[in-house]
Amino acid sequence: MFKAVVDHYPYRSWLCRITGILIVALGSFDLAGADLANGKLTIARLKYSGGGDWYNDPESIPNLARELTRRAGIETNEEQQVVNLTDDALFSFPILFMTGHGEVKWTNAEVRNMRAYLMHGGFLFADDDYGMDQAFRREMKRVFPDNEFIELPFSHPIFHIIYDFPSGLSKHHEHDKKPPQGFGLFHEGRLVVFYSYESNISDGWANPETHDDPPEKRETAFQMGVNIIAFALSQ
């Protein structure tokens, strides 16, 4: 159903340079003070107020980091890094990840920092773990009042850059029998937020015993995770 697209034009030339992706991508990451841990990419988990279980499946990002290194040659720090929107360290991480089940609340200062982070090269991947949708959309509307989330077409490169997902996001946990959807928020033509809804792919990055997912579901979850990070770095 899903296949690697190593020979798939127009991504062939990019894939031939995969070992240099961090140099190319992070060279364009213009946040002041941006840093790499020993030359490796670090994906930071976003901590937020509201009781929405921001800490869900703490092993998911370390596991994804391992797969990014193994599958795509993107050397990634496997240590869990947690950051608040008011932390000075926020501007050291090119990619943020957030998930949760419910309420998300940002202060005015946090909204300003999120806007600055995204406008100056940062990327946010948000994975709704059932129940985060309304609050997340409300807070992001405060960040970009004039921008709307757009459902990405299945032809978008994020679904094909390394692994081919011709039908878009895969489904990992069933909640309301709704189809999985991938939404994007753009700033000046750049995808700054990718939001997965009714998919919950980060559950597939957890340890096998956490959710008892079958191997094929975990495989597609890692494949899509690799695609998301690779696309974020390629912009």
How many angstroms separate the CA atoms of 74 and 188, rounded?
Answer: 26
Flag whether 214 is in a domain.
yes
Residue 68 has pLDDT above 60, yes or no: yes
pLDDT value of position 16: 36
Q: pLDDT tens, 74-100?
A: 999 999 899 999 999 999 999 999 999
Q: What is the pTM of this model?
A: 0.87
For residue 179, say if its preceding peptide bond is cis, omega within 30 degrees of 0: no
DSSP secondary structure string for all residues of the chain: --EE-TT-TTSHHHHHTGGGHHHHHHHT---TT---BTTBB-EEEEP-BSSS-TTSSTTHHHHHHHHHHHHH---B--S--EE-TT-GGGGG-SEEEEEESS--B--HHHHHHHHHHHHTT-EEEEEE-SS-HHHHHHHHHHH-TT---EEPPTTSGGGTSSEE-TT-SPP-S-SSSPPPEEEEEEETTEEEEEEEES--GGGGGS-HHHH---HHHHHHHHHHHHHHHHHHHH-
Flag whether 94 is in a domain.
yes
Residue 37 has pLDDT above 60, yes or no: no
Residue 15 has pLDDT above 70, yes or no: no
Number of domains in the chain: 1
pLDDT value of position 148: 97
Flag whether 192 is in a domain.
no
pLDDT value of position 180: 94
CATH code of residue 179: 3.40.50.12140
Flag whether 191 is in a domain.
no
> Which structural domain, as residue segments, surrounds residue 206?
3-186+197-234
